[in-house]
């Protein structure tokens, strides 16, 4: 076969590695972003459920505000182990409004909780949105 008729393959060494690197970097950033959003939603929903449960407890046991705060922190009226999600007692505010009236309410607010993102361009600590619940206090009548 004459030399002019032979087809030479173009040199492609390294092209596949470059293409893989160009695809893997954005893909990993996307996966880390999805992980961060999932973590944030989990934290927000867990905290919301804890606050709601504590508000229900507080509607019945409104006289014991420290126990209501412990319901948010530990899931029980008494301190037991570590607080959920690294909450501190200073992050949980329990108040009773309109005590002795028909507008007697218990209000629980959790604010100042921090979480960390790991996705590129977003990495760092952020504050979680405040969560609050208000319920009427059940009368002893």
Question: Tens digits of per-residue pLDDT, 53-98?
Answer: 999 999 999 889 999 999 999 999 999 888 888 889 999 999 999 8
| pLDDT tens by residue, 102-133 | 889 999 999 988 888 887 777 788 888 888 89
The mean pLDDT of the chain is: 86
Query: How many C-alpha atoms does 114 have within 13 Å on its Cβ side?
Result: 7
């Amino acid at each position: 076969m004459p030399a002019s008729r032979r087809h030479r393959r173009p040199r492609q060494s390294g092209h596949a590695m470059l293409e893989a690197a160009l695809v893997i970097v954005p893909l990993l950033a996307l996966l880390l972003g999805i992980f961060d959003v999932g973590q944030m939603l989990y934290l927000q929903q867990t905290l919301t459920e804890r606050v709601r449960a504590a508000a229900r407890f507080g509607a019945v046991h409104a006289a014991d505000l420290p126990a209501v705060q412990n319901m948010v922190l530990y899931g029980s009226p008494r301190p037991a182990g570590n607080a959920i999600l690294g909450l501190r007692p200073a992050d949980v505010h329990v108040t009773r409004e309109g005590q002795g009236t028909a507008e007697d309410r218990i209000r629980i607010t959790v604010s100042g909780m921090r979480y960390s993102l790991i996705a590129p361009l977003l990495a760092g600590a952020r504050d979680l949105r405040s969560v609050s619940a208000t319920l009427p206090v059940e009368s002893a009548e």
